[in-house]
């Protein structure tokens, strides 16, 4: 087996493509990986993590010494202080307990156990993490231990998921020679850079979208937005959603009417926008679709409980949705659905300001104000954001593909 088909998708430069073309399939012996760089034949050696890396367990400073002053020492206490595999300063301290140096690996030792990151700073480490001085190969090994569930297996049965110094130091890993470690480490470091760049591209698009939303919809008390398409200058009109439509929902489905597999997906609030885990019969679907409210193509479905306000645009597939928890606004031709979908992402629901209630009632929806331009301007705004959303979705797919490919390489390039 070779990696050329997968690696072509990743689109590295020529020198890196040439490097990966030197990977060849080897034996399935348990002490060597499935694929390997040319020139390496020795079996890998089973060792303890402490044999190849220095490990320091964290110790938390006194809480009275925590600060928000960036001039103090950066404090890392757990996975909340890491994002996308790197330490992101969030809390500082004036007290030095245990430390890690720039370039060290940071391992979360409390739930969620096994998250790994790097630090670009000299930091103080709290008891929720440990610092490991290791090369890029060690870093990828730690990631694989996490994905394989190794750390989680050590904490199974504990009231509070955690691992200790002995668990980490005695972790069994299989290692090749140092030159092969360096080859593998460099390979994954390059791949990680691609993933990081793709993540930044995605984050930038999401940030840009939020900026456009703020500028292309009027701020509270304003009659027009800051940014408009050329040719539109009329003031927007404030209406209530109840003035232009009514709340609709599917007929109630009872548990005994569902199965774990079947003809028509039934989406509950927990699976809304995800994969279904329940189905209803074709006969029941056709009967209810004919007799009771059912969304039209383009209608914007809203989650009315749990994480309220999540949306899914109905595409016309045969699907059924949980009544009262998933609803939509049945409206006239005053409203463009693509425009409405974007409005839902910035809406302030009536009666829920400052509320901890996790329920969106019909009255909350119908009494909510919406600023409306002409239908033509709505259509332009909706189409603009749909194109932006499509681009965001495409970049997310590229990121997911890179991450999936990396997981595949981790499984194939480690025994």
Per residue in 357-411, pLDDT (tens digit) is 689 999 999 999 999 999 999 999 999 999 999 999 999 999 999 999 999 999 9
* 18 has a pLDDT exceeding 80: no
The larger pLDDT score, comparing residue 24 to residue 123, is at 123
Q: Confidence band (pLDDT; 50, 70, 90) for 5?
A: very low
**pLDDT value, residue 258:** 96
* 63 has a pLDDT exceeding 90: yes
* 183 has a pLDDT exceeding 60: yes
Q: Quick one: what percent of the chain has pLDDT higher than 90?
A: 84
Residues in contact with 376: Cβ distance below 8 Å, sequence separation at least 6, in sequence order: 232
Answer whether 45-175 and 237-372 agree in fold: yes
Residues in contact with 45: Cβ distance below 8 Å, sequence separation at least 6, in sequence order: 174, 175, 176
Tell me, rounded to whole angstroms, the distance of Cα 377 from its chain centroid.
33
The structural domains of the chain, with segments of one domain joined by +, span 4-43, 45-175, 237-372
**pLDDT value, residue 111:** 85
In whole numbers, what is the pLDDT of the chain averaged over residues?
91
Q: Confidence band (pLDDT; 50, 70, 90) for 356?
A: low
Spatial contact of 123 and 76, defined as CB atoms under 8 Å apart? yes
**pLDDT value, residue 167:** 93
Per residue in 207-259, pLDDT (tens digit) is 999 999 999 999 988 999 999 999 999 999 999 999 999 999 999 999 999 99
**pLDDT value, residue 108:** 95
**pLDDT value, residue 135:** 94
Query: What ranges in 11-149 are assigned the alpha helix state H?
Result: 14-20, 49-52, 136-147
**pLDDT value, residue 334:** 87
Q: Which fold has domain 45-175?
A: Adenine-n6-DNA-methyltransferase TaqI; Chain A, domain 2 (3.90.220)
* 3 has a pLDDT exceeding 80: no
**pLDDT value, residue 161:** 84
**pLDDT value, residue 156:** 63
Is the CATH number 3.40.640.10 carried by domain 237-372?
no
* 200 has a pLDDT exceeding 60: yes
The larger pLDDT score, comparing residue 32 to residue 302, is at 302
**pLDDT value, residue 355:** 64
Residues in contact with 274: Cβ distance below 8 Å, sequence separation at least 6, in sequence order: none
Residues in contact with 130: Cβ distance below 8 Å, sequence separation at least 6, in sequence order: 55, 56, 57, 58, 106, 107, 109, 165, 168
């Amino acid at each position: 087996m070779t990696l050329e088909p997968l690696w072509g998708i990743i689109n590295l430069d020529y020198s890196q493509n040439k490097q990966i073309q030197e990977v060849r399939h080897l034996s399935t012996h348990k002490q060597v990986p499935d694929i390997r760089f040319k020139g390496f034949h020795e079996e890998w050696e089973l060792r303890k993590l402490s044999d190849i890396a220095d490990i320091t367990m964290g110790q938390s400073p006194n809480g009275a010494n925590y600060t928000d002053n960036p001039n103090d020492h950066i404090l890392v206490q757990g996975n909340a202080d890491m994002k996308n595999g790197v330490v992101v300063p969030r809390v500082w301290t004036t007290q030095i307990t245990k430390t890690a140096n720039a370039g060290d690996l940071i391992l979360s030792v409390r739930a969620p156990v096994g998250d790994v990151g790097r630090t670009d700073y000299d930091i103080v480490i709290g008891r929720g993490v440990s610092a490991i001085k290791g090369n890029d190969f060690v870093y990828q090994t730690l990631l694989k231990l996490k994905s394989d569930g190794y750390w989680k297996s050590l904490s199974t049965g504990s009231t509070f998921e955690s691992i200790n110094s002995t668990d980490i130091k005695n972790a069994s890993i299989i290692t090749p020679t140092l030159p092969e470690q360096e080859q593998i480490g460099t390979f994954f470091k390059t791949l990680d850079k691609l993933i990081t760049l793709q993540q930044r591209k995605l984050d930038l698009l999401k940030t840009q979208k939020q900026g456009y939303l703020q500028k292309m919809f009027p701020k509270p008390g304003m009659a027009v937005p800051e940014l408009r398409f050329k040719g539109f200058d009329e003031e927007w009109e404030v209406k209530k959603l109840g003035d232009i439509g009514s709340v609709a929902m599917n007929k109630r489905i009872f548990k005994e009417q569902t199965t774990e597999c079947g003809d028509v997906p039934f989406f509950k609030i927990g699976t809304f926008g995800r994969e279904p885990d329940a189905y209803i019969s074709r006969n029941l679907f056709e009967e209810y679709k004919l007799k009771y409210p059912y969304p039209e193509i383009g209608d914007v479905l809203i989650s009315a409980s749990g994480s309220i306000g999540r949306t899914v645009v109905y595409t016309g597939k045969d699907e059924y949705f949980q009544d009262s928890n998933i609803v939509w606004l049945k409206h006239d031709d005053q409203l463009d659905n693509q425009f409405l979908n974007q409005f839902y992402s910035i809406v302030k629901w009536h009666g829920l300001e400052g509320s901890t209630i996790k329920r969106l009632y019909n009255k909350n929806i119908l009494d909510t104000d919406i600023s409306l331009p002409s239908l033509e301007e709505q259509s332009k705004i909706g189409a603009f954001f749909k194109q932006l959303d499509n681009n965001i979705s495409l970049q997310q797919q590229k990121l997911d593909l890179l991450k999936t490919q990396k997981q595949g390489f981790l499984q194939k390039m480690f025994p």
